[in-house]
């Protein structure tokens, strides 16, 4: 993989540069940046705080507030009046946002106006909670050890308290924002030495950001992807699984992975049938590479 400078963001007299390569999840087929936003290198250990990256308040762009050395000020602000290089704290009162008037659209995956990932490269954005959960499931992330061992190589980051601005647990916990919001708070991924889970948290808190590459949306006229189906799903163990795709497609490469990311089956032919003879009960990911190089990933449940 070649490292390239995706972009450089200028703020006042400071310059934030992000030189990053990408990693491709072999199960979900999604492409991610290989380190947290703001990290200068790929972490070498789970507690490599030097390469843990910056910590953002939800919905804010790269204006200097994300630096771990940023200054603090008490009280939420109106949109457009936030101070560069400053964390705007809140109290314990619900919903503890850094904005006076909440705005759940700032990091929307459909084009949030303040998305720091898009500022680095228009090809990237913040991941949704569903996209993060897909990687958690695909790579069996259940704690810090498995988070760091995964394709994303997620390190401890700690988080910044929304009420006091202190960075807590930087060497024992990982906190990562997603673009998804719900009832005044936003979704985050969390892990420690024994646990990993999706949940929600107050937007004035500071957390790490990992960027995902935007998917190319197929046109409704794209014959190769229109009407793609896989059935039956759920399927019974040892039964044949069929899929439907346009006759324009001549050959399809098929890769089946279990939840640990282990490749358990592969085939390449013109047939529209998958022969999983010895698959046990459970969930699998099936990746189809069509002969125009389009990729489709589907979940498969074996009962």
pLDDT at 51: 95
Residue where the block lists tokens 């969390």: 190
Of 30-44, 62-76, 258-272, which range is least confident? 258-272
Q: Which of 277, 301, 5 is nearest to 137 (CA)?
A: 301
Query: Are the CB atoms for 136 and 189 separated by under 8 Å?
Result: yes
Specify which residues 8 forms β-bridges with: 17
Handedness of CA 123, 125, 55, 141 (dihedral sign): negative
C-alpha 83: how far from chain center: 28
Of 16-30, 79-93, 120-134, 145-159, which range is least confident? 16-30
Q: Looking at the predicted structure, is the pLDDT value of residue 122 above 90?
A: no
Query: Are the CB atoms for 123 and 117 separated by under 8 Å?
Result: no
**Confidence class for position 236, pLDDT limits 50, 70, 90:** confident
Residues above pLDDT 90, as percent of the chain: 51
DSSP 3-state of 54: coil
DSSP 3-state of 53: coil
Mean pLDDT in the chain? 85
| Residue 194, CA atoms < 13 Å, CB-side half-sphere | 0
**Confidence class for position 6, pLDDT limits 50, 70, 90:** very low
Q: Looking at the predicted structure, is the pLDDT value of residue 8 above 90?
A: no
Residues in contact with 43: Cβ distance below 8 Å, sequence separation at least 6, in sequence order: 35, 51, 52, 148, 153, 155
Query: Are the CB atoms for 208 and 177 separated by under 8 Å?
Result: yes
Of 123-137, 223-237, 273-287, which has the strongest mean pLDDT? 123-137
Backbone angles phi, psi at 51, to 5 degrees: -120, 30
Q: Per-residue DSSP letters for 108-137?
A: -TTT-TT-HHHHH-TTEEPPPHHHHHHHHH
**Confidence class for position 13, pLDDT limits 50, 70, 90:** very low
> For residue range 273-283, what is the model confidence (pLDDT) as tens digits?
888 877 888 88
Rounded Cα distance between 126 and 103, Å, is 16
Q: What is the pTM of this model?
A: 0.71
Mean pLDDT for 243-250 is 78
> For residue range 96-120, what is the model confidence (pLDDT) as tens digits?
999 999 999 899 876 567 999 998 8
Q: Looking at the predicted structure, is the pLDDT value of residue 82 above 80?
A: yes
Q: For the chain, list the domains and their CATH numbers.
A: 4-213 (no CATH), 229-302 (2.60.40.3080)
Residues above pLDDT 70, as percent of the chain: 87
pLDDT at 191: 98
Q: Which of 25, 287, 275, 296 is nearest to 140 (CA)?
A: 25
Q: Per-residue DSSP letters for 143-211?
A: SHHHHHHSTT-PPP--EE-TTT--EE-TTT-EEEEEEEEETTEEEEEEE-SS-EEEEEE-TTSEEB---
DSSP 216: P
Rounded Cα distance between 303 and 259, Å, is 15
Backbone angles phi, psi at 146, to 5 degrees: -75, -25
């Amino acid at each position: 993989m070649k490292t390239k400078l995706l972009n450089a963001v200028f703020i006042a007299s400071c310059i934030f540069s992000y030189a990053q390569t990408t990693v491709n999840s072999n199960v979900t087929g999604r492409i991610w940046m290989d380190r947290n936003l703001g990290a200068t290198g790929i972490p070498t250990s789970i507690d490599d705080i030097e390469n843990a990256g910056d910590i953002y308040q939800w919905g804010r762009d790269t204006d200097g507030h994300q630096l771990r050395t940023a200054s603090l000020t008490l009280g939420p602000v109106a949109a457009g009046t936030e101070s560069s290089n400053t964390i705007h704290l809140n109290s314990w009162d619900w919903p503890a946002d850094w904005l006076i008037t909440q705005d759940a659209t700032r990091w929307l995956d459909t084009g949030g106006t303040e998305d720091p990932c898009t500022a680095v490269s228009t090809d990237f954005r913040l991941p949704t909670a569903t996209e993060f959960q897909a990687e958690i499931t695909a790579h069996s992330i259940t704690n810090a050890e498995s988070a760091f061992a995964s394709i994303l190589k997620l390190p401890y980051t700690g988080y910044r308290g929304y009420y006091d601005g202190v960075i807590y647990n930087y060497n024992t916990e990982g906190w990562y924002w997603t673009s998804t919001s719900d009832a005044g708070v936003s979704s985050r991924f969390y892990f420690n030495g024994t646990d990993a889970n999706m949940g929600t948290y107050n937007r004035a808190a500071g957390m790490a950001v990992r960027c995902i590459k935007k998917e190319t949306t197929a046109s409704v006229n794209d014959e190769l992807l229109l009407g793609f189906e896989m059935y039956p799903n759920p399927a019974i163990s040892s039964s044949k699984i069929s899929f439907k795709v346009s006759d324009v497609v001549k050959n399809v490469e098929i890769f089946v992975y279990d939840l640990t990311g282990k490749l358990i089956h592969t085939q390449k032919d013109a047939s529209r049938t998958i022969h999983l003879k010895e698959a046990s009960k459970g969930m699998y990911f099936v990746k189809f590479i069509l002969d125009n190089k389009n990729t489709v990933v589907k979940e498969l449940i074996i009962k």
